[in-house]
Amino acid sequence: MAKSHVVLLAYHYTILFAVSRSSIKFLPGFEGPLPFELETGYVGVGEFDDAQLFYYFVKSQTNPKEDPLMIWLTGGPVCSSASALFYEIGPLTFRVEEYNGSLPTLVSTSYSWTKAASIIFVDSPVGSGFSYARKPSSSRAGDTIQVHQVDQFLRKWLMDHPEFLSNPFYVGGDSYSGIIVPALVHHIHIGNENGVTPPINLQGYVLGNPATDENSDTNSRIPFAHGMGLISDELYKSVSGLNTLHILLPDCGSDSTRQHIIKFSGGRILGETLNPTLSLPWFGCYLYKFLLSSFWANDENVRRALHVRKASIGLWSRCNTDKVPYSKDIPSSFQYHAINSAKGFRSLIYSGDHDYVVPFLGTQAWIRALNYSIINDWRPWLIDNQIAGYTRTYANKMTFATIKGGAHTADYKPKESSVLFERWIRGELL
């Protein structure tokens, strides 16, 4: 049942805003009622609420009254939070099977982070997912704009959900969100100090394979590729850089699968461009699974079930990186890590040790540059007596961990990622 609320909020100026939200019991493509509590809605941000941010909210499946609350920002930039919800850390995912024109099937996962926390998956910035602008002047997107708008989103959302005001609050994200999340943590803290209401019970942040500083991130790719045996000693000594973001992708498709995709998308993948010259080893199963979300989210029955506003957006795309003008005006988030460390916020920084996009070598370099002493030195962390990765903790309450065999996002090693998060968020030793 959808409902609207009008709440008076003392922000930098007093404004009226409407938060619309709906409780979702059933979703097309999933058999039976959902085994968790799902809410979707919009929160208006910016001047006159002209930017409408869409969100999915999943309550903790353990103890929502006491478990932490986290907001999750997908990277890109300008990628939908549906990526995290359905592919990385959420309680549902798509069954990967050959597309035949019918609605893709959703199934439950056993690795959802919502077993330990309530999570708000927000489509930010404007232009990502189902978020939209009411007028062109409100469609601007960028690092600093996103930080301010997500802060507004959070305070308005909490005013409308006062039962979560006392829950420990964390900010989470991966990939490009490594630029946004530390700055957002700082901005929330400053707002709290200045008496902005409602106060947010901010405790820390979580980042996976985070973009941090372009020089540190990109300069680590060649040493990483060499250390992984992907390039020869001779090439390592002579090459100055590579443009390749993905070196290998598995082939899990078939020519018939590819033809099905072309047939049912009119030659263009909904939300994912299909270049007919791409070979299946490149297209592969990793990219193929993303197509399913595009077919699903562009179905009218799905949009009605999610209470997406009619005519608010056209074709839904998982990522609109090439379609939405975006200003990258925070060149490095290192300074915000330093500030947040000085303020005593907890942080978990994790890296898939097979990620070439943001190699763990670069992440370790900027962590060392914070110059905090080591509390617990390098050691393996285990699942079922098997090494799942390696970890180290620092005096600034920062934990760094690798995920053995993991890559750029949590979906490569979902079980390990889930266990890592659950132990850390509950204050347990990895």
Per-residue pLDDT, 18: 67
CA 409, 414, 415: angle at the middle one, nearest 5? Answer: 145
Indicate whether 417 belongs to any domain.
yes
CA 423, 429, 430: angle at the middle one, nearest 5? Answer: 65
Q: Is the sign of the CA dihedral 143, 150, 341, 366 positive or negative?
A: negative
Provide the terminal-to-terminal Cα distance of the chain, rounded to the nearest Å: 41
Q: pLDDT band at 239, cuts 50/70/90?
A: low
Q: Is the pLDDT of residue 44 over 90?
A: yes
Per-residue pLDDT, 136: 83
Identify whether 125 is preceded by a cis peptide bond (ω within 30 of 0): yes
Per-residue pLDDT, 275: 38
The DSSP code for 345 is -
Q: Mean pLDDT, to the nearest integer, of 5-22?
A: 50
Q: Is the pLDDT of residue 420 over 70?
A: yes
Indicate whether 225 belongs to any domain.
no
Q: One of 138, 175, 333, 347 is an active-site residue; which one?
A: 175
Q: pLDDT band at 392, cuts 50/70/90?
A: very high
Question: What is the rounded distance in angstroms from the CA atom of residue 280 to the CA atom of residue 404?
Answer: 26
Is 397 within 8 Å of 344 (Cβ atoms)?
yes
Q: Is the pLDDT of residue 316 over 80?
A: yes
Please check whether residues 156 and 55 belong to one and the same domain: yes
Determine which of 63-67, 112-116, 126-130, 258-262 has the lowest per-residue pLDDT on average.
Answer: 258-262
- For the chain, what is the mean pLDDT? 86
CA 166, 428, 391: angle at the middle one, nearest 5? Answer: 120
Per-residue pLDDT, 283: 44
Please check whether residues 88 and 205 belong to one and the same domain: yes
Q: What are the angstrom distances between the C-alpha of 30 and each of 286, 383, 395?
A: 22, 30, 45
Higher per-residue confidence, 23 vs 251: 23
Q: Which of 2, 5, 51, 40 is nearest to 152 (CA)?
A: 51
Indicate whether 318 belongs to any domain.
no
Read off the pTM.
0.86
Per-residue pLDDT, 416: 97
Per-residue pLDDT, 225: 85
Per-residue pLDDT, 286: 63
Please check whether residues 49 and 151 belong to one and the same domain: yes
Indicate whether 310 belongs to any domain.
no
Please check whether residues 86 and 166 belong to one and the same domain: yes
Please check whether residues 204 and 276 belong to one and the same domain: no
Q: Mean pLDDT, to the nearest integer, of 385-389?
A: 97
What are 219-228's pLDDT values in tens digits? Answer: 888 888 889 8
Please check whether residues 258 and 350 belong to one and the same domain: no
Per-residue pLDDT, 99: 75
Neighbours of 149 (CB within 10 A): 23
Indicate whether 309 belongs to any domain.
no
Question: What is the rounded distance in angstroms from the CA atom of residue 377 to the CA atom of residue 283?
Answer: 40
Indicate whether 303 belongs to any domain.
no
Q: Is the pLDDT of residue 1 over 60?
A: no
Question: What is the rounded distance in angstroms from the CA atom of residue 283 to the CA atom of residue 308?
Answer: 30
Which domain, by its residues, includes 419? 2-219+328-425
Helix (H) or strand (E) holding 186: helix 177-193
Is 169 within 8 Å of 200 (Cβ atoms)?
yes
Q: One of 186, 337, 354, 408 is an active-site residue; which one?
A: 408
Q: Mean pLDDT, to the nearest integer, of 315-341?
A: 94
Please check whether residues 110 and 174 belong to one and the same domain: yes
Q: Mean pLDDT, to the nearest integer, of 111-137?
A: 94
205: Cα separation from own chain's centroid:
12
Is 355 catalytic? The answer is yes
Q: How many helices (H) and strands (E) does the chain have?
A: 12, 17
What one-character-per-residue DSSP string does 44-86 give?
EESGGG-EEEEEEEE--SS-TTTS-EEEEE--TTTB-THHIII
Determine which of 11-15, 144-148, 164-168, 224-228 has the lowest per-residue pLDDT on average.
Answer: 11-15
Is 65 within 8 Å of 37 (Cβ atoms)?
no
Is 408 catalytic? The answer is yes
Q: One of 67, 123, 160, 355 is an active-site residue; which one?
A: 355
Is 19 within 8 Å of 2 (Cβ atoms)?
no
Please check whether residues 286 and 418 belong to one and the same domain: no
The residue type of 14 is T
Please check whether residues 338 and 407 belong to one and the same domain: yes
Q: Which of 194, 197, 148 is nearest to 10 (CA)?
A: 197
The DSSP code for 170 is E
Please check whether residues 56 and 160 belong to one and the same domain: yes
Higher per-residue confidence, 3 vs 180: 180
Determine which of 13-22, 311-320, 381-390 has the lowest per-residue pLDDT on average.
Answer: 13-22
Question: What is the rounded distance in angstroms from the CA atom of residue 159 to the CA atom of residue 149?
Answer: 15
What are 247-300's pLDDT values in tens digits? Answer: 333 344 444 444 443 443 333 333 343 333 333 344 455 677 888 899 999 999
What one-character-per-residue DSSP string does 201-235 give?
-EEEEEEES---BHHHHHHTHHHHHHHTTSS-HHH
Q: What are the angstrom distances between the C-alpha of 104 and each of 73, 128, 293?
A: 25, 21, 8
Q: Is the pLDDT of residue 12 over 80?
A: no
Q: Mean pLDDT, to the nearest integer, of 117-121?
A: 98
Domains held by the chain: number: 2
Indicate whether 232 belongs to any domain.
no
Per-residue pLDDT, 236: 78
Percent residues over pLDDT 70 in the chain: 85
